[in-house]
Amino acid sequence: MAGYRKLGRTSSQRKALLRNQVTALLNNGRIVTTEAKAKEVRRIAESMIALAVKEKDNYDTVTVTAKVPQKDKDGKRVKEVVDGKRQTVFDTVEKTIKKDQPSRLHARRMMLETFYGVKEVPEDNKKKKKLTVDVDMPKKMFEEIAPKYANRNGGYTRIVKIGMRKGDAAPMVLLELV
């Protein structure tokens, strides 16, 4: 007996399907799918959330200095002539960044291995493709989802049966984050 459901697909198709549904679930908060798929997606999603909860505070805060180009009132870089060449003028700025511990970095890479890239369009600009924004799913996991489930020991998802599909009478469910 296999340790997972094959879902009538080849291994590459099955892996792609599950990655896509896990990404959609964690990005949107809920998906509608068949019961068999939901049970498989639940396994992966719960392990990703547990990983994020475990590693959410595992980072160091570091202050670094960075060179940032000066900008004029129009937002263009300020240039000055040095030895007959135009060079950009830089300011030195101190920034505070989060530096991942090795275990959190490993968790982030495991999440990147599982999730697909997600693009979101701002609500006010639905017609403009160039304003789409890439969503950093591991960052969303660590900063939004993990704090929500920090004091919960498992059971991060819920499956609600919603009836049979019209075409083939497959049992449909709503899979959502609790």
- CATH number of the domain within which 110 lies: 3.90.1030.10
Q: What is the pLDDT of residues 14-33, one digit of tens each?
A: 999 999 999 999 999 999 99
Q: Are 110 and 99 in contact (CB under 8 A)?
A: no
Structure tokens at 126: 């639905």
pLDDT at 90: 92
Residue at 42 is within a domain: yes
Give the list of residues 6+ apart from residue 33 with CB closer than 8 angstroms, or none. Answer: 21, 41, 172, 173, 175
Instruction: Tell whether 110 and 52 lie within a shared domain.
Output: yes
Instruction: Tell whether 67 and 138 lie within a shared domain.
Output: no
- What DSSP string describes 46-88? HHHHHHHHHHTT-EEEEEEEEEEE-B-TTSPBPEEEETTEEEE
Q: Is the dihedral of CA 149, 153, 156, 160 positive or negative?
A: negative
Instruction: Tell whether 115 and 93 lie within a shared domain.
Output: no
Residue at 46 is within a domain: yes
pLDDT at 129: 74
DSSP 143: I
Give dist(CA 45, CA 178) in Å, integer. Answer: 12
Q: Which carries the bigger pLDDT value, residue 133 or residue 122?
A: 133
Residue at 2 is within a domain: no
Instruction: Tell whether 90 and 22 lie within a shared domain.
Output: no
pTM of this prediction?
0.83
Instruction: Tell whether 83 and 154 lie within a shared domain.
Output: no
Give dist(CA 33, CA 76) in Å, integer. Answer: 49
Is pLDDT at 43 greater than 90 in this prediction? yes
Is pLDDT at 35 greater than 90 in this prediction? yes
Instruction: Tell whether 85 and 74 lie within a shared domain.
Output: yes
Q: What is the mean pLDDT of residues 87-95?
A: 91
117 three-state secondary structure: coil
1 three-state secondary structure: coil
What's the domain range around 26?
11-57+102-177
Q: What is the mean pLDDT of residues 158-165?
A: 97
pLDDT band at 131 (very low <50, low <70, confident <90, very high): confident
Instruction: Tell whether 95 and 112 lie within a shared domain.
Output: no
Instruction: Tell whether 91 and 111 lie within a shared domain.
Output: no
Give dist(CA 161, CA 17) in Å, integer. Answer: 20
Residue at 169 is within a domain: yes
pLDDT band at 1 (very low <50, low <70, confident <90, very high): low
Instruction: Tell whether 169 and 86 lie within a shared domain.
Output: no
